[in-house]
Amino acid sequence: MEQTVSIGTILWTTVGVFLTFCLFSFLYKDNPFYKFAEHLVVGVSVGYWAILLYYNGINPNLFSHLFVFANDPTTGAEFNTWTPRLKGIHYIIPALLGIAMWTRFSRKYSWISRYPLALYLGISSGIAIPVTMKNNVLSQLRGTVVGLGFDWSVSGFLGVPQGIWDVVVVVGTISSLIYFFFSKEHKGAWGGTAKLGIYTLMIGFGATFGYTVMARISLLIYRIQYIRDWWKMIF
């Protein structure tokens, strides 16, 4: 089947493939091609991020509160009329906080930037306290009891009842938690349990590692197919 591809598409795809090779060359050693691709992508990504923040960040989060937006009659696209909107006047506060960040350009007033930073950390930490307690501690505690079936009639791995394995999960969790205690030295029975904990952790880590290999190889396959498609497009 004959496919017509525009010269522009070929050129742009070739750029992509060229950059792909530049990056793969890093596996051999650091070289000018890699350096070029690396610095290029850093520049492009900063530029992209800045533009994205302008359209999808500052417009909806700040300007839409402070100013009146209108719809372009022909395209329907929203645009800023720069007319102040009194209802959102309280958004002056974050705007001032944001501008306070810029005092870092001055040596004399840079301490003002500590106000927004302090708020940033204070707010994030305050939010995190109950949420982390719930998601990490309580939900996991709940999971050990409710998430597992404790079904004694179903035979699981090695013909052992599934319920036994569920108990093993809890025992593994407990011994791994014991490994994390800071106040007590790993000695005697305590140390033995901690040892069991570290083995549990290591089996878990090994399993995750081995399990992930396939997903990582898939990434490479996709890349090679990308190059192969380009090859087919050109020749």
Partner 1 sequence: MKYIILLFLTCLTLCLSQAILAQTASLDPPAEAALVPSEPPAPPSNVRVSDLPNDDGHGIQVKWNLSPDDGAGAKSVISYDIYRADTPDAPDSLWKKVGTAVLGIKSYADKGERDAGSRDYLPKHTNLYYRVYAVGAGVRSAAAAAGPVQATDDWFNDMKVPELVFCVVFLILTVRFINMAKKGADLYVRPLAGIEAIDEAIGRATEMGKPILYVLGIGTAGDIATIASFTVLGRVARKVAEYQTSMIVPCIDPVVMTIAQETVKTGYADAGRPDAYKEDSVYYVTSQQFPYVAAVNGTILREKPATNIYLGYFAAESLLLAETGVLAGSIQIAGTDQVSQLPFFVVACDYTLLGEELYAASAYLGREPLLLGTLKAQDYLKAIVLVCMIALLALRVITGADVIRKPFDMPWW
Partner 2 sequence: MTLHDRLLALDRRWVFGVLALFVIIPLTPMFSNFSVPVTPVKEVREIYDFIEGLKPGDYILLSLDYDPGSLAELHPVAYAMLEQCFAKRLKVITLTLSQTGAQMVEEAVKDVADSCKLYHGFTPERGIDYVYLGYKPYPGLIILGMGMNFRIPFPQDYYGTTLDSIPMMRGIKNYDNVKAVINLSAGNVSDYWVADGNARYGVKLALAMTGVMAADYYPYYQSRQIFGIIGGMKGAAEYESLCKNPGTATEAMKVQVFAHVVIIIFIIIGNLAYFLGRRQTAPTQESR
Partner 3 sequence: MKRQIPLVLVFVFGVLLAIQYFVPSEASQRGYEFVLDWITIIGIFAMVLGIWSQIHVGYNKIKHRSEDWQYSVVTLVSMFAMMFFGLSFFGGLHGTIFRLIYNNVFIPIQATIFSLLAFYIASASYRAFRARSAVSTVLLVAALLLMLRVIPTGPLADPINKIGNWMLLVPNLAAKRAILIGVGLGGVATALKIVLGIERSYLGKD
Question: Between residue 167 and residue 186, which ones bind partner 1 under the rule CB under 8 A?
Answer: 167, 170, 173-174, 177-178, 180-186
Question: Between residue 157 and residue 196, which ones bind partner 3 under the rule CB under 8 A?
Answer: 157-158, 165, 168-174, 176-177, 179-180
Coil, strand or helix: which one is 223? helix
Question: Between residue 115 and residue 134, which ones bind partner 3 under the rule CB under 8 A?
Answer: 115-133
Read off the DSSP letter of residue 198.
Answer: H
Q: Does 106 bind partner 3 (CB under 8 A)?
A: no
Q: Does 154 bind partner 1 (CB under 8 A)?
A: no
The letter for the amino acid at 156 is G
Q: Does 141 bind partner 1 (CB under 8 A)?
A: yes
Looking up tokens 């000018």 gives: 32
Q: C-alpha distances in angstroms, 54 versus 47, 59, 82?
A: 11, 6, 15
Among 15, 51, 96, 138, binds partner 1 (CB under 8 A): 138
Provide the residue count of the chain: 235
13 binds, among partner 3, partner 2, partner 1, none (CB under 5 to 8 A by kind): partner 3
Q: What is the closest distance, in whole angstroms, from the C-beta atom of residue 52 to partner 3 in the complex?
A: 7
76 binds, among partner 1, partner 2, partner 3, none (CB under 5 to 8 A by kind): none
Q: Does 63 bind partner 1 (CB under 8 A)?
A: no
The Cα–Cα gap between 9 and 52 comes to 25
Coil, strand or helix: which one is 80? strand
The Cα–Cα gap between 136 and 177 comes to 13
Residue closer to partner 1 by CB (options 23, 227) is 23
Phi, psi of 68, rounded to the nearest 5 degrees: -85, 130
Bridge-based pairing state of the strands 67-71 and 78-84 = antiparallel
183 binds, among partner 3, partner 2, partner 1, none (CB under 5 to 8 A by kind): partner 1
* 152: nearest Cα among 142, 161, 143, 140: 161
Phi, psi of 143, rounded to the nearest 5 degrees: -55, -35
Contact residues toward partner 1 (CB under 8 A) are 23, 26, 30, 34-35, 37-39, 41-42, 44-46, 48-49, 101, 104, 113-114, 117, 120-121, 123-125, 127-130, 132-134, 137-139, 141-142, 144-146, 150, 167, 170, 173-174, 177-178, 180-186, 201, 204-206, 208-209, 212
